[in-house]
C-alpha cells in the first residue's frame, strides 16, 4: 500500500466503529435502568411487595399483554405464581417499540425464562392495541 493512502486508511479504521449501533445488550441496559430497582438484579422481586420476573407464570400466561403493561404501567392486584401483589408499577411511555422488544426479549430469556424471541413488528402490533 502506498504510504500516501495510509492516513485515509487510518481514518477509516477510526471511524468504522461509528457505523455500528451500540444497541447490543440494550435490553439488559434498559432492565438495569428501568426495572431492576424493584424487580431485582436477577428478576427475583421483593418479598410479597414486588412480584418476581424469574420463573414467573404471569409472563407466560399474559405474553401478548406485556408490551402494553410495560408501556402503561399498572395499579391493580396482580397474581404471580399464586401470590397476589398490589403495588404501583410506573409506565415507561418513553420507550420505543424497538426498545420494548429488546427489554422483553432480555427478561424472557433470563433467570430460567425461556420464551421465544419477539420481533419489533410483533411488539408494535400489540402496542397498537394498547388501551
Binding residues vs another protein (CB under 8 A) = 36-38, 40, 46-50, 87-90
Locate all alpha helices (DSSP H) within 50-119, ordered by sequence: 57-61, 66-72, 97-107
Q: Which residues of 93-114 are buried (b: 16+ CB within 10 A; e: fewer)?
A: eebebebbbbbbbbbbebbebe
Cell numbers given for 75 = 395499579
**Nearest CA to 88 among 49, 130, 31?**
49
Q: Closer CB to another protein, residue 36 or residue 115?
A: 36
Comparing CB distances to another protein, the nearer of 6 and 88 is 88
CB of 13 to another protein, least distance (A): 37
Q: How far is the CB of 71 from another protein (least distance, A)?
A: 15
CB of 65 to another protein, least distance (A): 19
Amino acid at each position: 500500500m502506498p504510504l500516501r493512502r495510509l492516513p485515509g486508511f487510518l481514518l477509516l479504521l477510526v471511524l468504522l466503529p461509528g457505523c455500528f449501533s451500540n444497541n447490543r445488550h440494550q435490553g439488559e441496559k434498559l432492565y438495569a435502568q428501568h426495572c431492576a430497582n424493584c424487580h431485582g438484579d436477577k428478576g427475583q422481586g421483593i418479598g410479597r411487595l414486588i412480584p418476581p420476573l424469574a420463573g414467573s407464570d404471569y409472563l407466560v400466561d399474559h405474553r401478548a399483554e406485556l408490551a402494553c403493561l410495560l408501556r402503561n404501567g399498572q395499579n391493580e392486584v396482580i397474581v404471580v405464581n399464586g401470590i397476589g401483589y398490589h403495588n404501583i408499577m410506573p409506565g415507561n411511555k418513553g420507550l420505543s417499540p424497538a426498545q420494548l422488544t429488546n427489554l422483553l426479549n432480555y427478561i424472557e430469556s433470563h433467570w430460567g425464562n425461556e420464551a421465544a424471541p419477539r420481533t419489533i413488528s410483533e411488539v408494535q402490533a400489540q402496542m397498537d392495541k394498547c388501551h
